[in-house]
Amino acid sequence: MFASLSDRLTTTFKTLRGKGRLSPADVDATVRQIRLALLDADVSLPVVRAFTAAVRERALGDEVNGALNPGQQVVKIVNEELVTILGGESRRLRLAKNPPTVIMLAGLQGAGKTTLAGKLGYWLKQQGHAPVLVACDLQRPNAVTQLQVNGERAGVAVFAPEPGNGVGDPVDVARRGVEHARARGYDVVVVDTAGRLGVDADLMQQASDIRDAVQPDEVLFVLDAMIGQSAVDTAKQFDEGVSLTGVVMTKLDGDARGGAALSVVTVTGSPILFASTGEKLTDFEVFHPDRMAGRILDMGDVLTLIEQAEKAFDAEQTAKMADKLQRGDDFTLSDFLEQMQAVRRMGPLKNMLKMLPGMGDMKEQLDAFDERELDRVEAIVRSMTPAEREDTKILNGSRRSRIAKGSGTQVSDVNGLVDRFGQAQKMMRQMRNGGGMPGMPGMPGGMPGMGGGVGPGKRGKKGKQQPQRKGSRSGNPAKRAAEQAALPPAPAPAGSAFGLGAAPRSEELDALPEGFRDALGGR
């Protein structure tokens, strides 16, 4: 989603880099490319016109002319305008003061309403609510059964008194569903309504009757992001028929151009509340306009990545791992397996990496990444005994051959994993001991004169600087401490910081303000 739009906008902004001043011609060329990118993404024409006009007006104003980096200021303006057309600030569900809260789902057939009902029920349950799903789609074959299956998977109750498949009155079922929730203590009711292949009078009348019967607190339009501008027109008709209060975007994991998401808020005036990003129950998230704008402009979405990590990683397990490393224990393959499983619970690795800033330039490498490589790594580790995972040094040739056969891989794959893990262990030991990242300039351990780096001294044969010899040092710690104590203190350099050097000269004090002269003992 948004891949083509993101690529074109990123390419457009590259032409602005390094320019100390933007002429009107530069702004016009940039706005023209932005307009073409949005139209190519199937964004509604009125939205494109309003968006580009706002960007052009701000780009030609003092906001950019007075900026130290005009190119970056234009990117900032585009980001803010994207946030605006995506809805501005995030909006939460409106909960009723007197439960139950009634949420009605509306939309065309095939948009994913029934699947979304299960995801929404699961999300509400995770938020501490007690939801119930009401099966009011009595037209589509097996729609009731599908909702019951989704409810069972989500661990959420389902109210389905009618079998469906053309049998039953959806308005009566919706009314009885709310009464059932009130009697049983459910605080949220999710009403799954029927859809059609197109908007017709019967569909609108049925949706309107259900709305009048249950008086929903939220009427959410389930919008299929794959069908472009026709979805926006449909949303507008539903808004006129049942007065939408919010939108839920589905199939954002597809390869659609994203025009519907960028147009629906402006066209309907209803904010996007949620986004469905996959087939799993957990592939459901609150929609944040600022984060989505960041993804489009390749600025990343680190906050969503952190939230997913908090859900996937067990706090107790993480604390135990931290304590283990603080005690000085080595990171083992058993620990590695636990951490890898937690990372995989966050979703596909390539999707997580795409949330990092600047990963748009590595899109081809990310798309080429094979998730099955993680399966092979996990199979190798699981084929080891607990003792082998704790200490890889015992892995001789016969053990490695057995592990390769047990995991369906080659011995070379086992060797490669063990070697890379050994290097990672060594790096973690050095970081734990305060040595920093090995070989990294500007970090302890790689900085000259800092913990294992090359200090001042004479040059070797290959031009490398060698440490100076300053006498022998005893291997006995107590004796070495006595030898160091007997050495004369090194003289402080003249004029060193914090007043540790030689006293300032009279002419130097004369050049200072009176307050400084008093502080330094001057006249």
Binding site members for GTP? 107-114, 192-196, 250-253
Within 8 A by CB and 6+ apart from 381, the residues are 333, 336, 337, 389, 417
Q: How far is CA 115 from CA 96, 147, 255, 330, in A?
A: 24, 7, 20, 45
Do the beta carbons of residue 409 and residue 380 sit within 8 Å? Answer: yes
Rounded Cα gap, residues 226 and 229, in angstroms: 9
SS3 197: coil
Q: How far is CA 171 from CA 95, 102, 214, 246, 328, in A?
A: 22, 14, 9, 22, 65
Question: Which among 113, 112, 130, 111 has a CA at the least distance from the CA of 121?
Answer: 130
Known binding site: residues?
107-114, 192-196, 250-253
Burial 495-508 (b: 16+ CB within 10 A, else e): eeeeeeeeebeeee
Tokens representing 344? 């995989």
- Which run of H or E residues covers position 210? helix 201-214
Instruction: Say if strands 246-250 and 284-286 run parallel, antiparallel, or are unpaired.
Output: unpaired
Do the beta carbons of residue 268 and residue 220 sit within 8 Å? Answer: no
Query: Using only C-alpha atoms, what is the Rg of the chain?
Result: 32
Instruction: For tokens 């800092």, name the residue.
Output: 450
**HSE-CB of 150 using CA atoms within 13 angstroms:** 30
Tokens representing 163? 């079998």
Tokens representing 404? 């390769």
Rounded Cα gap, residues 509 and 512, in angstroms: 5
Q: Where does 333-438 have alpha helices with state H?
A: 333-345, 349-353, 363-368, 372-382, 386-390, 397-407, 411-432
Rounded Cα gap, residues 81 and 120, in angstroms: 29
SS3 38: helix
Do the beta carbons of residue 163 and residue 188 sit within 8 Å? Answer: no
- Which run of H or E residues covers position 273? strand 272-276
